[in-house]
Amino acid sequence: MATPYPAIRCLVKDSNATVPGTRRIMTKAFGIDSDMKPPIILNEHARMDASGDLRVYDTIDLAEMSSESYDASDDSLHAFDSEGRLLKIVADQDGGAHLEPAEANPQHRDTLLKILRDFLVRHGEPEAAVEQMTLESLVKAARDKNPNPYKGQKKSK
């Protein structure tokens, strides 16, 4: 059932964000006021907590540029910021998509840890070493593997 009040989105890039490079999004219909912190991780798997086709984007804008409106209805595509905040992919009328926080505080940190650890072990990293890594170092290691084959990918050197 639709809410009687439309969602009001307010995007403020950089200048008013808590951390430079983040984007503050306020969705009043859901009472969420939150910073999304890049890198942005998109994981494609039927189960949210299983590592699948992983894409890591250095910025929110790059993640959004590579997303299309049909991604919003893809139940196997899950988006997270670098702190484990679940993100929602929202279809735009122009065929693109944008990201919004699905929760005010990161509540999927353990899920993201599991996804990244599984991804790195699948790509040859020693399990014992991966188990000792922090979330920040896991995100960096996954980004350095450059798993993103799409147009928002990190440029190789």
Question: How high is the pLDDT of residue 23?
Answer: 53
> How many Cβ atoms sit within 10 Å of the Cβ of residue 103?
15
129: CB partners within 8 A, 6+ apart: none
Q: Which tens digit of pLDDT belongs to each residue from 105-157? A: 999 999 999 999 999 999 999 999 999 999 999 999 999 986 565 554 444 44
Edge-to-edge strands, sheet with 53-57 = 53-57, 40-44, 77-80, 86-91, 97-101
Q: Where are the domains positioned within the chain?
A: 37-144
Q: Which tens digit of pLDDT belongs to each residue from 22-31? A: 555 444 334 4
pLDDT beyond 70 at 78:
yes
d(CA 3, CA 125): 47
> How many Cβ atoms sit within 10 Å of the Cβ of residue 131?
10
Is the previous residue joined to 39 through a cis bond, with omega within 30 degrees of 0?
Answer: yes
pTM of the model: 0.76
Q: Hey, what are 47's tokens?
A: 């189960």
| Average pLDDT for the chain | 80
The pLDDT confidence band at residue 2, using thresholds 50, 70 and 90, is very low
